[in-house]
């Protein structure tokens, strides 16, 4: 039994972690919840008991065995080392440590073996979009040898935190009639105001997720760099266009991949369908995958416009496999390997 800390326990990912720990009967002897000073002092239910939310910045961390962080990159930068130095493994959902060469970036089904001999007490959980892509990509890489990946994402608003969900909800609630009129006859209306996203997300799509870094965006660079690191293919050519869509939960990705060897349509579908954590679905959608553990893969086609090329559409719940579930699976792997 383990003493577990959930940092960012009041947030969206924190809420899913709390329920997944219970769903999977995680061996918890003591649970502690941490968040910012805004929610310190409130209580959250865990298995029928009220647990006090502690201020992450002035709590005593001693005694924790496993800590799962979903409190944003700045909090992770400040707190992760302190908690790790107190003896706990830190599994971090934020971008703070992912590209640190000393820190393993882990999807257990793909590179969980890294946990066997890492000396780092901080383990990074990948970005929610990359996570969805690497499971099927790893399977296809083993079969045909990956050379190049081109991806276009359709990312849900919950990927931008609770405030992203609130923004879409309020735009749909207050201005849906005006937005639908605009859709049908192009009549000019004033768009609902936006604060979280760089344009109105209700009834729209925005080809800017994250912020610009030259001509790319932070989300696009994460997809490129994290895929290379997780797959262990530092020279893999990856190109991504990340787009925010008015979907609450479930990131979708249209992927075209080029291989060393010629891919076979039926063989690829069979291999994808029997990959751990993946389910084949002819027409996968985000609504269908919301609340599910598996990544759904469908629309598999040989791309005859290019050499040795295969296309597919991949969908995953960004709050579950994209964040909370993968973090809990990392904790389970550490336990199975006797590291905790």
Ligand X SMILES: NC(=O)c1ccc[n+]([C@@H]2O[C@H](COP(=O)([O-])OP(=O)(O)OC[C@H]3O[C@@H](n4cnc5c(N)ncnc54)[C@H](OP(=O)(O)O)[C@@H]3O)[C@@H](O)[C@H]2O)c1
Report the interface residues with ligand X, using CB under 6 A.
8-14, 35-36, 38-39, 56, 70-75, 93-94, 128, 158-159, 161-162, 318-319, 322-323
Q: How far apart are CA 291 and CA 314, in angstroms?
A: 15
Question: Cβ closer to ligand X: 82 or 301?
Answer: 82
Contact 271, 288 (CB under 8 A): no
Q: How far is the CB of 7 from ligand X (least distance, A)?
A: 6
Q: How far is the CB of 172 from ligand X (least distance, A)?
A: 19
Residue of closest CB approach to ligand X = 11
Q: How far is the CB of 293 from ligand X (least distance, A)?
A: 15
Question: Cβ closer to ligand X: 93 or 204?
Answer: 93
Question: Cβ closer to ligand X: 282 or 291?
Answer: 291
Residue environment code for 173-212, b if the CB has 16+ CB neighbours within 10 A, otherwise e = eebeebbeebeeeeeeeebbebebbeebbbbbebebbbee
Name 255's bridge partners.
Answer: 151, 312
Question: Cβ closer to ligand X: 78 or 181?
Answer: 78
Catalytic residue (one of 141, 242, 251, 289): 251
242 is catalytic: no
Q: How far is the CB of 40 from ligand X (least distance, A)?
A: 7
Instruction: Give 206's DSSP letter.
Output: B
Three-class DSSP labels, 21-62: HHHCCCCEEEEEEEECCCCCCCEEEECCEEEEEEECCCCCCC
Q: How far is the CB of 166 from ligand X (least distance, A)?
A: 10
Question: Cβ closer to ligand X: 75 or 105?
Answer: 75
- Three-state DSSP class for residue 303: coil
Q: How far is the CB of 36 from ligand X (least distance, A)?
A: 3
Q: How far apart are CA 241 and CA 74, in angstroms?
A: 26
Contact 317, 290 (CB under 8 A): yes
Catalytic residue (one of 128, 141, 242, 289): 128
- DSSP assignments along 80-135, one per residue: HHHHHHTT-EEEE-STTSTT-TTS-B--HHHHGGGGGT---SEEEPPPHHHHHHHH
Tokens 């991806």, residue located: 151
128 is catalytic: yes
Question: Cβ closer to ligand X: 155 or 256?
Answer: 155
Burial of 144 (0-12, 13-18, 19+ CB in 10 A): buried
Tokens 């791309």, residue located: 303
Catalytic positions are 128, 251
């Amino acid at each position: 039994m383990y003493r577990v800390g959930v940092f960012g326990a009041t947030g969206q990912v924190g809420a899913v972690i709390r329920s997944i720990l219970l769903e999977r009967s995680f061996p918890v002897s003591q649970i502690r919840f941490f968040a910012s000073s805004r929610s310190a002092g409130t209580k959250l239910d865990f298995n029928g008991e009220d647990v006090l939310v502690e201020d992450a910045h002035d709590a005593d961390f001693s005694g924790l065995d496993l800590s799962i962080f979903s409190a944003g990159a700045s909090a992770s930068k400040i707190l992760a080392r302190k908690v790790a130095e107190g003896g706990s493994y830190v599994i971090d959902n934020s971008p703070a440590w992912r590209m640190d060469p000393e820190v393993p970036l882990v999807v257990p089904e793909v590179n969980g073996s890294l946990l066997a001999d890492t000396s780092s007490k901080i383990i990074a959980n990948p970005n929610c979009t990359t996570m969805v892509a690497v499971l099927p990509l790893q399977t296809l890489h083993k079969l045909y040898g990956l050379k190049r990946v081109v991806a276009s994402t359709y990312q849900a608003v919950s990927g931008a935190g609770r405030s992203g969900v609130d923004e879409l909800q309020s735009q749909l609630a207050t201005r849906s009639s005006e937005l639908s009129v605009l859709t049908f006859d192009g009549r000019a209306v004033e768009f609902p105001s936006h604060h979280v996203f760089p344009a109105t997300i209700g009834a729209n799509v925005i080809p800017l997720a994250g912020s610009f870094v030259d001509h790319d965006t932070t989300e696009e660079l994460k997809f490129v760099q994290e895929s290379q690191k997780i797959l262990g293919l530092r020279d893999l050519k990856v190109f991504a266009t990340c787009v925010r869509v008015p979907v609450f939960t479930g990131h979708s990705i249209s992927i075209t991949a080029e291989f060393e060897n010629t891919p076979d349509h039926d063989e690829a579908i069979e291999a994808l369908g029997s990959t751990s954590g993946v389910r084949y679905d002819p027409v996968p959608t985000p609504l269908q995958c919301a609340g599910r553990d598996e990544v759904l893969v469908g629309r598999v086609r040989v791309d005859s416009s290019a050499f040795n090329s295969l296309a597919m559409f991949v969908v995953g719940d960004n709050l579950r496999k994209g964040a909370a579930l993968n973090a809990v699976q990392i904790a389970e792997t550490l336990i199975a390997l006797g590291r905790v």
